[in-house]
A and B are shown apart, each in its own frame.
Chain A
Amino acid sequence: MYKVFLPLRFFLKRKITYLAVIAVTLCVFTVVVVMTVMNGLVTDFVDKNHAFVGDCIVGTDSLVGFGWYEDFLDELRQADFVYAASPVIKTFGLVKSESSSKSGALPVMGIDAVEHIKVTGFASALHYRKDSPLLAFAPQYDSTLPGCVIGIDLLVNRESDGQYIQSSLLPRWVYSVTCFPLTARGALIKSGTSLSANSKIFYYSDNAETGLAKIDSGMIYLALGQLQEICGMAAESKRATAIFIKFNPGSDVERCTEKVARMWADFTLRYSDKSQSWLFDTVTVADWKSYCRETIAPMEKEQTMMMMLFAMVGIITIFIIFVVFYMIVAHKSKDIGILKSIGAGEFAILGIFLRFAALIGITGSAAGLVLGVLFLRKINNLEDWLFANFQWQLWDRSVYAIGDIPDSSGVILPTVVFICAVSACIIGAFLPTLRGVIKKCVDILRVNEL
């Protein structure tokens, strides 16, 4: 009975216990909040990259692209594990606003809206054509005009609270896009004796918000066929620079990518005698993680660094808990001596203090988790309130491509933190208690008489 009774009494009747509970609560609260926010940011960034390219990419870095992609698309669409596949051209162009005379060199992406919305999150990135993404390149005021979709940060200002100031009616803005058409050999297509560039007028039909700063602040989307024309990729066998593929829901991306790679190897073998077959040599097959590695890797490195820092914070936390318990148990060493003098066994005494530690750990961790989850639920409201009243913001939305601060901790992270915190308390109590239990009863009581 005393093995249950004493831990409860120690827990309820000692003021230092409340301090220990508060210490554990604060540690757990901090870890849960910071880990949730940091993990959330990385996950959000990774998910946005995934949404931008689909599951798998067959592509080349060469601006020339590769031919016979339509034949390969047909084969892909017949594969039972492929949900959809979309041909893409990624190139660069000179974009000039006809109304403001502003111009600049920008990445230009040619997409087939019908297929692209099946493979990527393009539809949800649109503003005016969100509900009718197939008409992404058809301006609302005249759907017969050739349209262009522009990265939102190129056109629309963002307020400090993160909201874009979109006009309700689509502005009639006109852009001229100039590209340098390349031959299959990679040379500029010549017209007579001078080098020529193809220009075409496009009408602003929508803007796209992918949530990826690099894309939203520097990408212009055109219809695939039109970009093919001005890039000289529509002649002979049509060329594209990539095929974005989406696998059936629940598919193993790695395995399916391997299948696509085998299909591609087989395809290039069969098409090796076709024209421009040498362009196949630069084409690679990669899953979305590998394809976006350059973008994701720094963020993941950052996350690893944060994890390292938090591992250090975790170790310090465990050490603080250990010190708190060391002091509590050292303070109660007299009780160990008394218990031994009335015949309590060593294991029983150890059990009493470990239960006591577990009570502190469970209570403190539970309180930390509840506070952490509540804080996370309100973190965006809190930030809004701070901004409204003190103009203070954690991340300035006019600078960072962050919508809301991640506030969903899920189940795994809190569970792991809870288990670690309770274990830290028990380990923290174990060593000093063991030391007290091993010590001779007379030595403990004699010291406490001093």
Chain B
Amino acid sequence: MNKNNCIMNCSGICKTYQMGAARLEVLKGLDLSVASGEFLAIVGSSGSGKSTLLHIMGALDKPDKGSVSFNGTDLSRLGRGRLNAFRNKNIGFVFQFYHLLDELTLLENVLLPRMVSVGTLGWAKVRKGARKAAKELLERLSLADRAAHKPYQLSGGQRQRAAIARALINGPDILLADEPTGNLDSETGNGILKVFNELHRAGQTIVMVTHDEKIAAIADRTIELVDGRVSAE
């Protein structure tokens, strides 16, 4: 990988969970780099630390040891406020269970990260543009006619596509997806993977965690986590 092309670098990542008296070492000095525009799949058995790694990469969790740098900036040096802004502007999360807010329509769910990124006064300025962008995203993900629906009125696949739209609204540098098809049937799951493929072709950097190697096959590169380290590429 070209060093100039590297968007995110994880170096010597260690993470341990204390489960009562037992210590569970999940990540043991893991090194990983993600190139801009790359579609990286992380595979591994259940409990191998895939999701933990993804959360650390997205600044939702902190490593016990090691560092994560984004475009050369060490995330451990950022304060809470800047980490929040980093998550809001640079990272898009797609969770296995969609995690949409039930009280909001799809359009409002998609707009939420944009609302967070601007203040109350700032929203008045960007409102029109943001709504336009959100509608375009929903259209791109074949959800235009569902914009006014609540999440519970939609199928699993539609919810996941809405979650992808929400993750993309702020134009993140990296899309982090944690088992995005894990809660869907294979046909619907394939539809979601197709969306990821299209996004990747459009230049989106994607890091996807999955336990299914067949799903991982659509990625440019696949790494396998075994015993808290990258065992194979």
Interface residues of A (CB under 8 A from B): 1-6, 9-10, 12-14, 334-335, 337-346, 348, 440-442, 445, 448-449
Contact = CB atoms under 8 A, between A and B. Distances in A.
Nearest to B56: A442
B174 to A, nearest CB: 14
Nearest to B92: A342
A339 B87 CA distance: 11
Contacts of A13: 102-103
Interface string B37-80: 00000000000000110010010110000000000000000001
A345 B80 contact: yes
A370 B171 CA distance: 50
Interface in B107-159: 108, 112-113, 115-120, 123, 127
Interface of B is mostly: helix
Contacts of B127: 1
A337 B115 CA distance: 17
A335 to B, nearest CB: 6
Contacts of A449: 95-97
B113 A335 contact: no
28 contacts: A1-B119, A1-B127, A5-B115, A9-B103, A9-B108, A12-B103, A340-B84, A340-B87, A341-B58, A341-B60, A341-B87, A341-B95, A342-B88, A342-B166, A343-B87, A343-B88, A343-B113, A343-B116, A345-B80, A346-B80, A348-B116, A440-B61, A442-B51, A445-B99, A448-B97, A448-B99, A449-B95, A449-B96
A6 B52 CA distance: 29
A337 B93 CA distance: 12
B217 interface: no
Given A10-B103, A341-B87, A445 B95 contact: yes
Contacts of A440: 60-61
B32 interface: no
B173 to A, nearest CB: 14
B75 to A, nearest CB: 14
Given A13-B103, A344-B88, 20 more contacts: A1-B115, A1-B123, A9-B103, A9-B108, A12-B103, A337-B99, A338-B100, A340-B60, A340-B84, A340-B87, A341-B58, A342-B88, A342-B166, A343-B87, A343-B89, A441-B60, A442-B52, A445-B95, A449-B95, A449-B96
A442 B87 contact: no
Rank and list the top 9 A-B pairs by shortest CB-CB distance, nearest first: A343-B88, A1-B123, A2-B115, A13-B103, A343-B87, A342-B113, A9-B103, A343-B84, A442-B55
Contact of B101 (A335, A348, A442): A335
Contacts of A4: 120
A76 B113 CA distance: 80
A244 to B, nearest CB: 66
A408 B100 CA distance: 49
Contacts of B102: 13
B226 to A, nearest CB: 22
Contacts of A1: 115, 118-120, 123, 127
Contacts of A337: 99
Interface of A is mostly: helix
Nearest to A9: B103
Contacts of A5: 108, 115
A12 B95 CA distance: 27
A440 B93 CA distance: 16
Given A13-B103, A335-B101, A342 B95 contact: no
B20 interface: no
Contact of B99 (A6, A341, A348): A341
B93 A341 contact: yes
B99 to A, nearest CB: 5
Question: In this complex, which of A1, A10, A335, A346 has the most chain B Cβ atoms within 10 angstroms of its Cβ?
Answer: A1
Nearest to A341: B93
B94 to A, nearest CB: 10
A441 B89 CA distance: 17
Given A2-B116, A4-B120, A440-B61, A345 B81 contact: yes
A337 B51 CA distance: 15
Contacts of B101: 6, 9, 335, 338
Given A1-B115, A10-B103, A338-B101, A345 B61 contact: no
Nearest to A443: B61
A338 B99 contact: yes
A184 B101 CA distance: 91
A12 B105 CA distance: 13
A445 B96 CA distance: 10
B24 interface: no
Contacts of A10: 103
Nearest to B81: A345
Contacts of B88: 342-344
B87 A9 contact: no
A3 B93 CA distance: 21
B84 to A, nearest CB: 5
A339 B60 CA distance: 11
Contact of A342 (B80, B93, B97, B103): B93
B6 interface: no
Given A343-B87, A345-B84, A445-B95, A14 B116 contact: no
